[in-house]
Amino acid sequence: MPPTTLNDFQSSAAALDRAASDAFASAGSADTLEKARAEFLGRTSGRLLDLQRLVPTFEGAERGSAGRAFNELKTSLEARLDARRIELESTARASRSDVDLTMPARRQFRGAEHPVTLVIEEIVAIFREIGFTVATGPEAETEWYNFTALNFPPEHPAMDLHDTMYVAEDVVLRTHTSPVQIRSLQAGPPPIRVVIPGNVYRLDPFDASHAPMFAQIEGLAVDEGVSFVDLKATLTHFAQRFFGATRTRFRPSYFPFTEPSAEMDVECRLCKGAGCAACKGTGWMEILGSGMVHPNVLDAAGVDSEKFTGWAFGMGPARIALQRYGIPDIRVLYDSDVRFLEGLAR
Ligand code: DAH
């Protein structure tokens, strides 16, 4: 090893630094990088080793400087080597094709609309065709909207704690969608033609035909000169559209908010009127309550009952869904068993 000056040593170190850095940076694969590593940092014959062998040829303070310069160079080249190795690995990983484009897609879970939702949409669509719009209202109502304005006498049993869910002294979970009649009447002067879908709550236990929460659709038509003929004609039209050519009948009934009141039946779909278990042997299926809006209701809502008349109805789409889809127990509609709901998907 020829003796050398510290200056020569330092410029050799700088030259080696550049050469090694270039070699690492231009290595395009793990193999070429490994060759560059062996050339410069190889333990038995690398070019850095040649430089290291010069260190002991210096004396005293110069040996210390040469040693430090060598150590710095070695550390920095090792760091560059590692960084380039990581870089090459990550580009290799990104371009490697792990994706098998021929693999069959995983089966997607497809949601389906609930049978009650389907029935509500269908009913609402039929009323839209004949000029009704859709209104909604809050599910927590004051006693006034839910009962008083609808002409319930103050001590009516429906207001009892046993039938109605109270959320505060004067606030109930609405027991029907009829309070939205009042809200619709208050919203603006007649003519009014609205259908009102929504959930209602009663203190009923779950059984085959009852649920503590269920959907209703309310209807309201108020204008000058509206009569019972409009009620019958419109509801019969609805039944024909929804159930197909079918017989209907109206039976007298009672509701505090209508006078006169009527319930509408359609011929049982299952037995065609012969009488079966589903219609309890009558051949008829009750689908809604209805009547001429009581003048007290119009007055409570601030509508002149001398000038305007109207009719209203309320029906339960869950019951209608049972009929339509041949479901024997209303609880099935609330079980959220997707195997059942999937079977109904359109
Ligand atoms: N609100 C009644 C109920 O929940 C249903 C009803 C009957 C609504 C007659 C009406 C109606 O609008 O006219 O039992």
Residue 3: pLDDT band by 50, 70, 90 thresholds? low
Q: Which atom of ligand 1 is nearest to the CA of 176?
A: 4
Determine the pLDDT at residue 263: 97
Looking at the DSSP bridge assignments, the partners of residue 261 are: 253, 291
pLDDT per position as a tens digit, 106-137: 887 777 788 899 999 999 999 999 999 999 99
Q: Whose CA is nearest to atom 6 of ligand 1?
A: 314
Ligand 1 centre to CA of 333 (Å) is: 22
Residues whose CB falls within 8 Å of the CB of residue 76, separated by 6 or more in sequence, listed in order: 17
Cα 157 to its chain centre, rounded Å, is 38
Q: Whose CA is nearest to atom 12 of ligand 1?
A: 313
Q: What is the pLDDT of residue 197?
A: 98
Least confident interval from 135-139, 163-167, 249-253: 163-167
| Average confidence (pLDDT) over 212-237 | 97
pLDDT at 344: 65
C-alpha–C-alpha distance, residues 169 and 140, integer Å: 12
Q: Ligand 1, residue 178: give the atom nearest the CA.
A: 1
Give, using CA atoms, the residue closest to atom 7 of ligand 1.
289
Cα separation of 274 and 284, whole Å? 9
Q: What is the pLDDT of residue 205?
A: 86
User: Which pLDDT score is estimated for 215?
Assistant: 96
Q: What percent of the chain has pLDDT over 70?
A: 97
Query: How far is ligand 1, taken at its centre, from the CA of residue 191, in Å?
Result: 20
Residues with CB under 6 A from ligand 1: 176, 178, 218, 255, 258, 289-291, 312-314
> Quick one: pLDDT band at residue 2, thresholds 50, 70, 90?
low
- Name the pLDDT band for 101 (thresholds 50, 70, 90): confident
Report CA dihedral (18, 19, 21, 24) to the nearest 10 degrees.
Answer: 170
* Each residue's pLDDT tens digit, 316-339: 999 888 878 877 788 888 887 777
